[in-house]
Amino acid sequence: MNTKTTVITNEQLAGQFAFCDKIAAYWHEKNVTPTAYVETYGCQQNEADSEKLRGYLTQGGYAIVGEAEGADVVVMNTCAIREHAEQRVFGNLGALTHTKRRHPGQKIFLCGCMAGETKVSERIKHSYPHVDGVFSTHHLWQFPEILWNVLSKAKRQFYVEDEAGSIAEGIPQVRDSQLKTWVSIMYGCNNFCTYCIVPYVRGRERSRKKEDILAECRTLLENGAKEITLLGQNVNSYGKDLEGGVDFADLLAEIAQLPGDFLIRFMTSHPRDASEKLFDTMAKYPKIAKQLHLPFQSGSSRVLKAMNRHYDRETYLKKVNYAKSVMPDLVLTSDVIVGFPGETEEEFEETISLIQQVHYDSLFTFIFSPRTGTPAAAMADPTPKEEKNRRFDKLCAVQNAISEEIHNAYVGKAQRCLVDGQDKDMLTARTEGGRLVRFEGDPALIGTYQMITITGSTTWSLTGELKGN
Ligand code: SAH
Ligand code: SF4
Ligand code: F3S
């Protein structure tokens, strides 16, 4: 595996913009405004990448549309985290043979994390001839070149060589929202948790320069952003590869001192690197949301070791207790995997007891899914599927009861919320802790902070009444 980060130069990026110009001229000559559809699977990293794909497409003259039918370009930005995610993509990719039959000029691309797996790119090469181009996350910055090659050479393009990964500043972005925005602060992951495919498909950890991140945040705030979510697979190791000794807490503190009325969120924190300095910084600045997503994965120290997580149950609990002690209103969420190879009934019960001890606001729960090439995929896994399903159901029931209890406790309290959208005849808003609130109100309130009194609750969301701002 190549381990050296490449910084994409301004000249290289200018080369890509030149391809955008060629593409725009190609369509202009035909007197056509082409359309493009980008479908995103997976996590916020992919959402952020799709904003760049749309940015490039817009620069190449494409109008962005909301469905594959009739679009001149379709890009599937995929996720490889679990088997199920991949099956969905293959299913939807198969269905595109029909949209392409109805619109033969359609060009279809597959990118994102699945494109970084050799078994996937080979399968597409041989069994999905209607796909015109495949490129891994390392090659996203070259999308205009790939698209131009497809348009001009009538030859399928595969940009899938394994690389350590790159940092490219200045790719145009068409953002989903000007209000709630993503800012990637780093890319890749070095942790190699034994179940996880991310380090293989997204390359080594690499941090963007602090100045570039701050400049992006400033621009977003000037354009009306009210929420900035900092993204990375393990934001706590931000800066380790940079000179100048800046760490994630320092970066947070600097962003929190930018002018404006806004909230900062971030994900994901790896418990190993989550420091007291980080929690103190969160507690100190009002602009940092008192919300923490701190995946624990398992409540058993033996399983955590087998997962290569580099912390044990006790260390995790100590960190959570410290965070709660400095932020009494902290909203805590987490990820957990059930049925890791060799997980015993007792070890599973340790996960249940950890959930009960910590009292998470909500959890993302997963059944272990073996990923080819990861160490866990080769571990003995004698637990039958039915038993894993039983554990999964039990875990969900325990967590749902906790979420319900926590949500119930909001009733009667006033919360400062960002009104962020509309769902049927209700408005939607988010509390500082990221909980969803539905309430009746004037759509003109979207984009403002309002005090909302919580009047009702379910396992998943809250309802409320407008109190004013
Ligand atoms: N970087 C983040 C996680 C990104 S993946 C972190 O380390 O916290 C999101 C979640 O998917 C993980 O936290 C894990 O719970 C789950 N996950 C990853 N690989 C998985 C696999 N092979 N099977 C089941 N769940 C998995
Ligand atoms: Fe995967 Fe672990 Fe990296 Fe998270 S920290 S992306 S779970 S390898
Ligand atoms: Fe999926 Fe890639 Fe994110 S595998 S979870 S889209 S980093």
Q: Relative to the CA of 202, which ligand 2 atom is closest?
A: 6
Band (245; pLDDT cuts 50, 70, 90): confident
Mean pLDDT of 45-74: 97
Q: In what order do the strands lie in the sheet with 331-338?
A: 291-293, 331-338, 362-367
Pocket of ligand 1 (CB under 6 A): 81-82, 195-196, 233-234, 268, 270, 295, 297, 335, 337, 366, 368-369, 371
pLDDT in tens, 168-204: 999 999 998 889 999 999 999 999 999 999 999 999 9
Is 329 a member of any domain? yes
Is residue 368 domain-shared with residue 439, that is, in the same domain? no
pLDDT in tens, 197-226: 999 999 999 999 999 999 999 999 999 999
Is 1 a member of any domain? no
- Within 307-384, residue ranges assigned H as helices are 313-326, 345-358
209-216 CB contacts, 8 Å cutoff, 24+ apart: 209/242, 210/239, 210/242, 210/244, 210/246, 210/251, 210/254, 212/169, 213/183, 213/185, 213/251, 213/255, 214/254, 214/255, 214/258, 216/183
For 61, left (φ over 0), alpha (ψ -120 to 50), or beta? left
CATH number of residue 250's parent domain: 3.30.750.210
Q: Which residue did the predictor score with more confidence, 243 or 52?
A: 52
CA distance 240 to 247: 7
| Burial of 446 per CB tally in 10 Å (0-12, 13-18, 19+) | middle
Sign of CA dihedral 16, 17, 20, 26: negative
pLDDT for the residue numbered 162? 78
Is residue 249 domain-shared with residue 324, that is, in the same domain? no
Pocket of ligand 2 (CB under 6 A): 189, 191-193, 196, 198-199, 233-234, 270
pLDDT for the residue numbered 244? 86
pLDDT for the residue numbered 228? 98
Q: 198 CA to middle of ligand 2, Å?
A: 6
420 CA to centre of own chain: 19
Number of H helices, E strands in the chain: 13, 21
How large a percentage of the chain has pLDDT more than 70? 99
Is residue 16 domain-shared with residue 40, that is, in the same domain? yes
pLDDT for the residue numbered 365? 97
Is residue 302 domain-shared with residue 282, that is, in the same domain? no
CATH number of residue 419's parent domain: 2.40.50.140
Residue 452 · residue 414 · CB < 8 Å: yes
Is residue 389 domain-shared with residue 442, that is, in the same domain? no
Is residue 144 domain-shared with residue 225, that is, in the same domain? no
Q: Which of 318, 395, 382, 385 is nearest to 350 (CA)?
A: 395
Is 172 a member of any domain? no
pLDDT for the residue numbered 117? 95
Domain region containing 423: 414-466
Pocket of ligand 3 (CB under 6 A): 42-43, 45-46, 79-81, 113, 198, 202
Other CB atoms within 10 Å distance of the CB of residue 328: 8
Mean pLDDT of 255-269: 97
Hunting for tokens 């009934």 — which residue is that? Answer: 345
Closest C-alpha to ligand 2, atom 5:
191
CA distance 302 to 313: 9
CATH number of residue 83's parent domain: 3.40.50.12160
What are phi and psi for residue 308, nearest 5 degrees? 65, 45
Band (468; pLDDT cuts 50, 70, 90): low
Mean pLDDT of 52-80: 98
> 246 is written with which tokens?
């800046």
Is 452 a member of any domain? yes
pLDDT for the residue numbered 2? 53
Closest C-alpha to ligand 3, atom 7:
198
Is residue 296 domain-shared with residue 281, that is, in the same domain? no
pLDDT in tens, 367-418: 999 999 999 999 999 999 999 999 999 999 999 999 999 999 999 999 999 9
pLDDT for the residue numbered 469? 62
Q: Which of 294, 274, 295, 272 is nearest to 191 (CA)?
A: 272
**In Å, what is the CA distance from 269 to each residue of 8, 240, 400?**
27, 15, 23
Is residue 424 domain-shared with residue 382, that is, in the same domain? no
pLDDT in tens, 265-319: 999 999 999 999 999 999 999 999 999 999 999 999 999 999 999 999 999 999 9
> 170 is written with which tokens?
């200045």
Last residue of a domain, one of 109, 142, 166: 166
Q: Which of 270, 309, 272, 269 is nearest to 289 (CA)?
A: 269
Is residue 233 domain-shared with residue 259, that is, in the same domain? yes
What are phi and psi for residue 448, nearest 5 degrees? -115, 160
Q: Tell me the pLDDT of the chain averaged across its residues.
A: 95
Last residue of a domain, one of 166, 193, 226: 166
Q: 77 CA to middle of ligand 3, Å?
A: 10
Is 171 a member of any domain? no
Tally of structural domains, the chain = 4
Is 81 a member of any domain? yes
CA distance 59 to 172: 8
CATH number of residue 367's parent domain: 3.30.750.200
| Cβ neighbours of residue 54 closer than 8 Å, sequence gap 6 or more | 36, 38, 64, 173, 174
Is residue 199 domain-shared with residue 145, that is, in the same domain? no
Name the closest ligand to CA 82: 1
pLDDT for the residue numbered 439? 97
Name the closest ligand to CA 297: 1
Mean pLDDT of 30-51: 96
Largest separation between any pair of C-alpha atoms in the chain: 68
Is 262 a member of any domain? yes
Residue 34 · residue 72 · CB < 8 Å: yes
Other CB atoms within 10 Å distance of the CB of residue 11: 7
Q: Dihedral (C-alpha) 328, 330, 335, 338: value to the nearest 10 degrees?
A: 30
CA distance 149 to 23: 10
Last residue of a domain, one of 289, 306, 334: 289
SS3 389: helix
- Best residue among 43, 44, 47, 81 to mutate for probing ligand 1, ranked by most atoms within 8 Å of CB: 81
Mean pLDDT of 117-143: 96
Q: 86 CA to middle of ligand 1, Å?
A: 15
Please tell me the total number of residues recorded for the chain in this structure: 469
Mean pLDDT of 248-271: 97
Mean pLDDT of 432-459: 95
Is residue 11 domain-shared with residue 158, that is, in the same domain? yes
How large a percentage of the chain has pLDDT more than 90? 94
Name the closest ligand to CA 379: 1
Q: 75 CA to middle of ligand 2, Å?
A: 25
Is residue 282 domain-shared with residue 299, that is, in the same domain? no
Other CB atoms within 10 Å distance of the CB of residue 169: 15
Is 137 a member of any domain? yes
Helix 10-30 × helix 44-59 angle, to 10°: 60
